[in-house]
C-alpha cells in the first residue's frame, strides 16, 4: 500500500514564463523523484479539457487497465491509442520546469497560467479558469453523492 507521501494531493497555480516553461510544484517533483521516472509522462485527459500527468505509478495503472482487455481487441487498441499513442514524455530541467508542447497546450486551452491538481496516482494540468469551473462542478457532484450515500440504509452490523 502506498502512503500519503506517495500521492499527488492539493492544487497549485503557476504561470508559464516567457520561454514557455512552467514549474512543477515542489511536492509533486518530490513524488516524481521518489517514483524514479526520468521526466514527466503527460497525455490528454480522456474526459476533461485537461492533461493527465505522472510517472511510473501512472504508467502502471494504465498498463493494469489495458491488461484487463483482450490483446488486439478494438477496445484495447482504442484505449492504448488514447492513453499511450498521444502521450509525451517531457524533460524536467534542473529548476523543476517543463515546457508544455503546443499540442498539449491546445488540448487543455492553456495560455499563460495553469493549475496543477493532485489526484492520487496522477495529477492534472488545467487552464486555471477551467479548473475553477471544474472544481465547482466536482464539489456539487460530491455533495450529491454524499446525500445519496447518506440516504442509503446501512447494513445492520449485528447480523
From first to last of its 159 residues, the chain has per-residue pLDDT tens of 445 568 999 999 999 999 999 999 999 999 999 999 889 999 999 999 999 999 999 999 999 999 999 999 999 999 999 999 999 999 999 999 999 999 999 999 999 999 999 999 999 999 999 999 999 999 999 999 999 998 876 666 544
Please give the grid coordinates belonging to residue 139: 464539489
Question: Domains in the chain, please, with CATH?
Answer: 4-151 (3.40.1550.20)
pLDDT recorded at residue 122: 96
pLDDT recorded at residue 156: 61
pLDDT recorded at residue 150: 87
What does the alpha-carbon distance between residue 50 and residue 38 come to, in Å, rounded to a whole number? 22
Q: What is the DSSP string of 37-84?
A: -SSEEEEE-SSSSSEEEESHHHHHHHHHHHHTS-TT-HHHHHHHIIII
pLDDT recorded at residue 3: 52
Please give the grid coordinates belonging to residue 114: 495553469
pLDDT recorded at residue 154: 63
Q: Which residues contact 49 (CB under 8 A, 6 or more apart)?
A: 107, 108, 109, 126, 127, 130
Tell me the whole-structure pTM to 2 decimals.
0.88
What does the alpha-carbon distance between residue 30 and residue 72 come to, in Å, rounded to a whole number? 37
pLDDT recorded at residue 1: 42
Amino acid at each position: 500500500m502506498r502512503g500519503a507521501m506517495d500521492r499527488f494531493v492539493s492544487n497549485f497555480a503557476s504561470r508559464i514564463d516567457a520561454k514557455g516553461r512552467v514549474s512543477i510544484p515542489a511536492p509533486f517533483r518530490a513524488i516524481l523523484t521518489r517514483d524514479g521516472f526520468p521526466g514527466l509522462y503527460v497525455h490528454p485527459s480522456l474526459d476533461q479539457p485537461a492533461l493527465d500527468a505522472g510517472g511510473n505509478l501512472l504508467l502502471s495503472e494504465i498498463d493494469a487497465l489495458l491488461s484487463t482487455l483482450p490483446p488486439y481487441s478494438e477496445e484495447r487498441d482504442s484505449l492504448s491509442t488514447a492513453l499511450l499513442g498521444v502521450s509525451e514524455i517531457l524533460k524536467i530541467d534542473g529548476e523543476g520546469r517543463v515546457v508544455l508542447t503546443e499540442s498539449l497546450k491546445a488540448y487543455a486551452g492553456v495560455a499563460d497560467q495553469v493549475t496543477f491538481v493532485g489526484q492520487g496516482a496522477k495529477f492534472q494540468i488545467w487552464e486555471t479558469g477551467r479548473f475553477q469551473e471544474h472544481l465547482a462542478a466536482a464539489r456539487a457532484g460530491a455533495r450529491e453523492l454524499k446525500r445519496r450515500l447518506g440516504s442509503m440504509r446501512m447494513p445492520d452490523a449485528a447480523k
